[in-house]
Amino acid sequence: MSMLAAIGQVANFAVGVAVNPLTFLGLVPVFAAGLTFMRYISFDPEAHPININHVRPEYDFIVVGGGSAGAVVASRLSETANWTVLLVEAGGDESEISDVPSLSGYLQMSPMDWMYQTAPPNEESQYCLAMVGDRCNWPRGKVLGGSSVLNAMVYVRGNRLDYDHWERQGNPGWSYEDVLPYFKKSEDNRNPYLARNAYHSEGGYLTVQESPWRTPLSIAFLQAGRELGYQVRDCNGEQQTGFMLSQGTIRRGSRCSTAKAFLRPVRNRSNLHIAMHAQVTKVMIHSKTKRAYGIKMVRNNRPQLVRAKKEIIMSAGAIGSPQILMLSGIGPRDHLESLNIPVMSGLKVGYNLQDHVGLGGLTFIVDDPITFTKKRYQTMQVAMEYILHEKGPMTSLGGVEGLAFVNTKYAPESGQWPDIQFHFAPSSVNSDSDQVKKITGLRDSVFNTVYKPLKNAETWTMLPLLLRPRSTGRIMLKSRDPSVYPDINPNYFTHEEDVQVLIEGIRIALNVSSTRAFQRFKSRPHKIPFPGCRQYEFDTDEYWECSIRHFTFTIYHPTSTCKMGPATDPDAVVDARLKVYGIRNLRVVDASIMPTIVSGNTNAPTIMIGEKASDMIKEDWGIEII
C-alpha cells in the first residue's frame, strides 16, 4: 500500500467517516506529507516479508502457522544457514491499519480474524447469555503474526510460580529460572528504568515499552492501588502482585507484532520461505513407522503436498493445532473413529482447554472530561499527531492503560500468586456502540437497556479476570472437512469456586473506584442491571454471578489443548521437548502446550515458548547453543 493510501486509511478510522486520501492531504502542508513519506522510507527498514510464489516440494523444517510462536520458530531455525525452512500461514500480511495501536478493536471480525465462536451453553455451564445466540466471539489471528496482530499488545509474562508449577508436573527445563532467559532473549525494552535490571534486556527482536500517552485516570489507578495496600511495581519483574502502567509490544508508536519483530528483519534469508494464504489441512504420517513426513495444504484453491526432511512444527494455536492434529489421526480414539479418521496416536488432543474469563462491561462514571471518548480523541488533529510524530492517543495499547494483580481470599496465603488480574481502561462499552456490539456480540436489546443511557457520559472500566480457572473445556471436530470450524466448548464456570473468586475480584474493583484517588473525579459504579438480572439487588453475590454469566468476557487467551506432560500423564500430548507422543518428527510449539494457563496475558509466554523450542530443536539436531 502506498503511503498516500495509508494516511487515508488511518484518517478513515480516526474520524469514523470516509475520507479521500487526496482530500485528507489537502488539509496538511505538502512538506509535512513529504517528510512523513521520507521518514517511513528512510528510517523504517522493516519491509514486509516476501510471500513466496512457488513452494519447493521439500524443506528441512515446515512450520505450520505464522503467529506468536510460529514466526519466532521460523526466524530462529533459519539462523542455521544450511537448513531450509517453510513457514505456512493461512492468512495474509499485516496492514498499515493493524500498525495503529488504538485501532486494535477494528481488526476483530475482519478478514484478519478467524472469527471463531464458542458453543452455546449447556445445563452444566451457563455463560455468554447476553450475546447473540448465547455465543461469545473468540477472535484469533488469521494473518502473518497471528493474534499478536489483533491483540491489545499488553506484555505480561505471568507469575514465576506458574512455571515452577509446570516443572513440578513433570516438565524438566520449564521452571521460571529456565524460561526467564528466553523472555529476555526476545526483548528490546525501551523504557530505561526497566531495561537495565535482572529481569529485562535490550537488543532483542521484540520491542517492549509503555505507551507514550495516557489519560490522567492512569495515575489515579496507580494511586488507588497504593491506597489499597498494593505496591506500584514492574509486574514482569521480581514480584507480580501490584499495580502498574501497561507495558506493550509497540515500537515507535506502532504495533510490534511477531511478524514485524522476527520476520521482517530476516526477509531476505534465502533459506526461509513464507507461504501466505495457504491453509494446512493434514499432517502426513507414515502408517507403519509413525513418522511425520509432510503436510497437505490448500493454496489458490489447489491442494499441494510438501515434504519435511527433518521435522514438522505445529504452531497453529490452541484451536488450530488440535484441529489439524485430529484431522491427521492424532487425538482421542473414540472421537476420531466416530468420524472415520484412522488413528495414528490416541492422545487427549483438544482436552484441557483453558482461558482467562471475567465480567465485561463493569463500568464507572466520573464527572470530569478526562476519559477516552470517540468524539474527543478520534479527530483529524489526533490522527495527524500520530502520523507525523508517532505520539498521542492513537498509541494507546488498545485502550488498556493499567494492569493490576490482586489477591482474593481464595489466593494462596503467601500473596505471591495473585488470582485476579485487572485491565484498566479510561473508556467503556458505551464509547463506540457499533464497534463494541460487533466485537462482543452483545444483543441490541442488552446494549440499549444497559449502556445506551451512558451515551454522553464520562466513563471508565475495569475488567476483572480469573487468572487460574478450575473449569476446563474442550475442542472437538465437527467434521472431517478442514474448512468446518471445530466445536469450542470453554465450559466456563462449571466449578463454583471460579464464580466465587471472580465475585471477590469485582468487589476489589469497586474498592478501587471508592478510593480517594478516584473520588476526586466522583467515580461511582453504573448500576443498571442486565435484563436477566433485574430480580437481584446490586452488589449481592447473586447479582454478580448473574452478571458474569450474562456479560461473560474473555480477552482471548485459549491455551492448553495439547498439554505438555510426562509419559505417565494420561492427558499429555507432548513431552517436555514438545514432541508429540507416538509420532516421530512432529512437535507442537504454541500456547496449546501449556499444562496450565499462565497468570497473565498469554502473548509474551507464547513468544517465550517459541524461543525455547527453537533452541531445543537445534540441540536435538546437533547444533550447539551458545
The C-alpha cell of 67 is what? 503467529
10-residue stretch averages of pLDDT, the chain, 626 residues long: 41 37 34 39 68 97 98 98 98 94 90 96 92 96 97 97 98 98 98 90 97 95 98 97 98 96 97 98 98 98 97 98 98 98 98 97 95 83 90 93 98 96 92 77 93 92 97 98 98 97 98 98 97 97 98 95 98 98 98 98 98 98 91
Instruction: Return residue ranges of the chain for CATH 3.30.560.10.
Output: 212-245+357-554
* 280 labelled binding-site residue: yes
pLDDT, one tens digit per residue, over 267-293 is: 999 999 999 999 999 999 999 999 999
* 153 labelled binding-site residue: yes
Cα separations (Å) of 605 from 74, 227, 568, 589, 600? 17, 31, 25, 11, 9
Would you say the C-alpha torsion 14, 113, 89, 561 has a positive or negative sign?
positive
Q: Catalytic residue among 200, 335, 526, 557, which?
A: 557
* 406 labelled binding-site residue: no
Instruction: Give the 3-state secondary structure percentages of the chain, helix then strand then coil, rounded to 5.
Output: 35, 20, 45
| Angle formed at CA 463 by CA 458 and CA 465, multiple of 5 degrees | 175
Residue matched to cell numbers 464527572? 367
What is d(CA 345, CA 586) in angstroms, rounded to the nearest whole number? 12
To the query of whether residue 495 is one of the catalytic residues in this protein, the response is: no
Predicted local distance difference test score (pLDDT) of residue 432: 67
What is d(CA 342, CA 340) in angstroms, rounded to the nearest whole number? 6
Strand stretches in 155-287, DSSP E: 187-189, 206-210, 242-245, 247-248, 250-251, 254-255, 272-275, 278-285
Under CATH, which architecture does the 46-94+143-204+257-352+559-626 domain have? Answer: 3-Layer(bba) Sandwich (3.50)
What is d(CA 623, CA 617) in angstroms, rounded to the nearest whole number? 9
- Where b means 16+ CB within 10 Å and e means fewer, 529-556 reads bbeebeebeeeeeebbbbbbbbbbbbbb
Predicted local distance difference test score (pLDDT) of residue 440: 87
pLDDT, one tens digit per residue, over 40-68 is: 443 445 799 999 999 999 999 999 999 99
The distance between the two most distant Cα atoms of the chain, rounded to a whole number of Å, is 72
Residue matched to cell numbers 479418521? 341
Instruction: Return residue ranges of the chain for CATH 3.50.50.60.
Output: 46-94+143-204+257-352+559-626
What is d(CA 606, CA 609) in angstroms, rounded to the nearest whole number? 5
Indicate left, alpha or beta for 187 from its phi (over 0: left) and psi (-120 to 50: alpha). beta
Residues facing 206 on adjacent strands: 187
How long is the chain? 626
Strand stretches in 446-548, DSSP E: 458-466, 474-476, 487-489, 524-525
Predicted local distance difference test score (pLDDT) of residue 372: 87
Work out the burial of residue 180: count CB atoms within 10 Å of its CB; fewer than 13 is exposed, 13-18 middle, 19 or more buried. middle
Those residues with Cβ within 8 angstroms of residue 37's Cβ, 6 or more apart along the chain or in another chain: 3
Predicted local distance difference test score (pLDDT) of residue 144: 98
Class of 212-245+357-554 in CATH: alpha beta
What is d(CA 499, CA 544) in angstroms, rounded to the nearest whole number? 9
What is d(CA 281, CA 480) in angstroms, rounded to the nearest whole number? 10
* 109 labelled binding-site residue: no
What is d(CA 601, CA 218) in angstroms, rounded to the nearest whole number? 19
**Whose CA is closest to 578, among 83, 173, 184, 87?**
173
Predicted local distance difference test score (pLDDT) of residue 45: 55
Residue matched to cell numbers 490416541? 346
